[in-house]
Structures are given as structure tokens and as C-alpha cells.
Structure 1
């Protein structure tokens, strides 16, 4: 599971570079978080996405951008913004089967950049918080996004629409398997474009390919004590 993760100045700079490359202004999307920050479920978090200009034309032009999304995916058919069942993580093994995710995984996939994430190791009654990160460079979590329209607001109200997201998880391998059986699906950097490409249909086979590509990244993850003021 991934219930808290952090960005730092390097990750923030990488997101800004992505934004500038799309022609956006960093001020168009950043909702006031700091260069170094810890995110928790339901917080607004930065996601990198690519969307079809015309959703009815899956082979048409696309547009990349960074957005702020609620870290708690709300499917379009939901009756409320935050349901009682947690949706900030989605298991990669079943993401193409479950109703909440099988729609978004087809063409609404996101990347969530991070410095690392927090995980608690439980041994008996002892709980030890750890911070998990790559030896060098940021992590790129595979995610999904979904737009939810508040039925209580009129169609002309700009606050009617809410962008939401989730992080895919996978079985842990390597050192991190010592502290928890699950870990975020961490993509290699050269998979970012492929993962967010809406022209690529998100089938079970495609998700399996992303899972296999993530193996070297996950095996290389390292962990240490979580800073007391950040855990």
C-alpha cells in the first residue's frame, strides 16, 4: 500500500519542466503546495497526463499537461466525491476488472512523480515507519485519473468538475518485500510517455507489460528510517 508519499525540489523542478514543455505556465496548475511536501489520501497531488483533444476520436491529436488531482479516485458513476471504500490505491492485477478502474485504465492513465513513499513495517505489536526511495533520481508511480461531476451543481458552475487519481500497486520484490507485501507500481522513466498515451488502449496485457517493466525499479528500491517529523 502507499498511504503517504513525498516530493522534493528536484521532483518539483521535473514537474515544472514537463509543464513548460507543454506550453503551460506553472501557475496554471500548481495549487500552492511547497517544493518539498508530504501528500496523504484526499490531498491535491500533481499528476502528468495526456488527453485526446476530441474524446470521440481515439486516433486524433493529444495534449499533455500537469494537473492537480484529488488523491482518491472517484469514478464518474459515483454518487459522492469520496466514497466509504478507499480508492487511493488500485491493485494492478485487477485494475482492468473492477468497475471503479476498468474505465479509466483504458485511456485515462497518469504518472505521479515522487521522491519516495512511506511504509510501516509491522512485527507483532511493533510498528516501524520507513521511507522508501530509489538510490538516485525520482520515482514515477503508475496511476489512473477520473473526472467526477457534482450532480448538485449546475453544468455552468466551474466547481462542478473534480479531477481525481489513484496509484497502482503491485507485489513487492527485492528489499522492500521485507517491510510490506505491496508497493507502488514504479515505472522506469522511459515508460512515462507510453503509460500516459491515450492512444494506447489499457488492456490487461498492457498493464502486465508495465508491471514487468517496473521490476528493475522495484528491485532497486531502498528504505531507511522515516524522518520523525514527516512520517
Structure 2
């Protein structure tokens, strides 16, 4: 699964790199560009491809948008005017089941996105030495060895309070996950689904469903450049946020093993 990640990209710079339209200012979130401890319900950066509103015949353009991490299905009822009722925290969706899951199947057809990140965190759980029945959780950070950005496959939704005319839309997203492969299986049995650049056109196409092959578990070769390193337990609390969360820990119980992956 993917329940925490880090991203340091600036939306304006990201839009320039991708020749995309930066639509984050319209959201008015005031979120900082760098977030080393992104958690569900946070407003996160996404990349979508959409037509200009009211101009369906024009060519679609890439757009950088902020969305709530944790997809809110279209049919969600309002708890109060303009506020969706709380439900399951849909921050992850299984890639192999999303197309048939009611909460995600509509998004799989026409609302797919990319979620840019520097890397993601997972925890290795082990019995705690000298404490019977207790476990210790050791955090690891998965990222490309060269430090380049990852783009994960995601789905998104637009929620509106139907009882409130002209209510503001609430954009939300989820990150697709798949079986871990290769050396990453030493950390966790699941991982976010990377989306290679050569598949972006098909994945982001707003007018056609994506080929089912794009939801398949990637090959070991496709993630061979992703490495894992132990990081400080500071990341365990979402209140901690800074570059120190990415510092490599050398005295982790598994640091020696993981360094050989």
C-alpha cells in the first residue's frame, strides 16, 4: 500500500517541465510546495489531461491540479451543506480490482491521473527484541537511485453537494497499488503503480478508457532503479515534516540487508 510519501516539486515548475497548465492557484489551498510527510486528506499535486471547459472539440491539455488525497465517490451524501459525509479513507485502490469496484470503476474509464512524488514510505514490522508480544516498526523510503521524480498512476473524482445549487466542486484522488516486485518485496507486499512516460498519452486520455495492460503489475526491470533506505522514525508522526525525514539511518536492524538489494 502507499499511505505516506514525499514530494518537493513546485507546481509552477512541474507545469513548465510538462508543458502543462498550472491550475493550482485557483484552488487557493495555500499548501507549501515541499511536503516530506504527505498523509491522506492532504491536498496533493496531480496531473490530468482535460479539454477546456465547454470546448470538447479542442485538443486536451495537461493540467496540474491540487486534489484531496482520499477519493470521494460521486454518490457520497453530504454531512452538512457542501461537506461530504465521512466514509472509508479511499487513498489507495487495487489496480487489479479498480475497474470492477463501485467506488473506482467510473474513474478508471474517464478520470485517471498521475501523482508525482519523490518517493514513498513503508514500514517493516518485526518482533521487538526483549519484549514478548510487542513489535517494532522500521520506516523505509523508496525512491529512484538517481533522485528523479516518480509518477504514480491515480484516479480522481469530482464531488458536488447536489442539494446546494452551484456548489463548489471538490476534487479528490486515490493512488493505485499493485503487487510489489523484485527487491521491493523485502519491504512490503504492495507498492504504488508507476506509470512510465511512454504510457502517459493512453493513461491520461480523457476520451477513451485506458488499455487494461496499464493496470498490470510492472516487471522487475521497470522498478529496478527504485531503491529502499531506512529513515528516521520521525516520519511515524504526520506532525513531523522536513528534509531530515529522508536522512538514511545506519543503525537500523535491517539496514545491512536492505543496502544489498
Gap regions ≥5 residues in structure 2? 79-83, 128-134, 237-261
Matched, 1:66 2:69: no
Mapping of residues 6-155 of structure 1, within 5 Å: 6-9=6-9, 15-18=14-17, 21-24=19-22, 27-28=25-26, 31-37=29-35, 38-53=37-52, 61-80=59-78, 81=84, 83-124=86-127, 125-136=135-146, 137-152=148-163, 154-155=164-165
Residue by residue, what CA displacement relative to the aligned partner does 1:108-148 show, whole Å, maximum 9, x if unpaired?
00000000001011123121111111112111110000001
1:166 alignment partner, SS class: strand
Mapping of residues 150-229 of structure 1, within 5 Å: 150-152=161-163, 154-157=164-167, 160-202=168-210, 206-211=211-216, 215-229=220-234
Q: Given the two structures, how large is their TM-score scaled by the length of structure 2? A: 0.75
- Counterparts of 2:187 and 2:86, CA distance in 1: 29
2:151 alignment partner, SS class: strand
2:175 alignment partner, SS class: strand
Structure whose CA Rg is larger: 2
Question: Could you tell me how far 1:220 is from its partner in structure 2?
Answer: 3.0
Structure with greater helix share of residues:
1
- Counterparts of 1:167 and 1:212, CA distance in 2: 14
- Counterparts of 1:7 and 1:77, CA distance in 2: 31
- Answer yes or no: is the 8 Å Cα contact 1:122–1:179 preserved in 2: no
Gap regions ≥5 residues in structure 1? none
Q: How many residues align?
A: 222
Change (3 A) 1:96 1:32: same
Question: Could you tell me how far 1:174 is from its partner in structure 2?
Answer: 1.2
Query: RMSD of the alignment, in Å?
Result: 2.6
Which is worse superposed, 44-53 or 218-227?
218-227
